[in-house]
Amino acid sequence: MQIEFIPAVIFVFITTITPGPNNIISTSMGLLYGYKKSLPFLSGIASGYLVIMLSTSMLSIFVNSYFPLIVPYLRYIGAAYICYLAYTVYKNSTKVKDPAHTKPLKYHNGFMLQFINPKVIFCGLTVFTTFLAGMLDQPIKVVLTVLLFTSFCFFSITLWALTGNYIRRFLHTELRMKLFGAMLALALVYTAIDLLELF
């Protein structure tokens, strides 16, 4: 089987840099708490991403048999959790003046998000069942490739968190912060709806 490494790299980079739950929540974290306080959450995302990518590389051999049974449940669980995160993002943006009542998301929140984030799971399954199917019998190459993809993920969420941190200076009034929090929350709700393919 042929290995199409460059197309796989392009696909994964585009998938990780475009808006999705990881990037939207990272923006919110940077906005509300700054980059430094967001690092545990961002590290959790990267760690979970690494585990998911390794898992999907192993599961891709069985995807035709087992994956169709998992997809419907995964979509609903993922959509529900993303909506919960949307609520958290909005709620925290309304309390930004009172930091004692709001705390940044932690490492485990970022880590667990990856297990119900179909964007990451579908990305891994797509890459390892198509572009890199010929690599699955070479474990060292698979691990090195997954590490490369995880670096893309961390670069992306860092960029989005730094963007949130940067625009914080323009959102110095409570109304502006609420409006921006609402926009981020709605973007997350949209990703949940899109995940369910309701439209």
Dist CA 57 CA 139 (whole Å): 10
Tokens of 53: 């990518």
Q: Would the pLDDT of 54 be above 80?
A: yes
Confidence band for 6, pLDDT divided at 50, 70 and 90? confident
Dist CA 25 CA 125 (whole Å): 23
Q: Would the pLDDT of 196 be above 80?
A: no
**Residue 5, in any domain of the structure:** no
**Residue 76, in any domain of the structure:** yes
pLDDT per residue as tens digits for the range 108-163: 999 999 998 877 887 888 788 778 878 888 889 999 999 999 999 999 999 999 99
Q: Would the pLDDT of 62 be above 60?
A: yes
**Residue 2, in any domain of the structure:** no
Whether residue 21 contacts residue 119, with contact meaning beta carbons closer than 8 Å, is answered with yes
Q: Phi then psi for 89, rounded to 5 degrees?
A: -60, -45
Whether residue 174 contacts residue 93, with contact meaning beta carbons closer than 8 Å, is answered with no
Domain around 148: 21-196
State residue 199's pLDDT score. 43
**Residue 15, in any domain of the structure:** no
State residue 157's pLDDT score. 97
**Residue 7, in any domain of the structure:** no
**Residue 93, in any domain of the structure:** yes
Total structural domains in the chain? 1
**Residue 3, in any domain of the structure:** no
Helix (H, G, I), strand (E, B) or coil at 136: coil
pLDDT per residue as tens digits for the range 170-184: 776 778 778 877 887
Alpha helices in the chain (DSSP H): 5-17, 21-59, 63-94, 107-113, 118-126, 139-167, 174-196
**Residue 158, in any domain of the structure:** yes
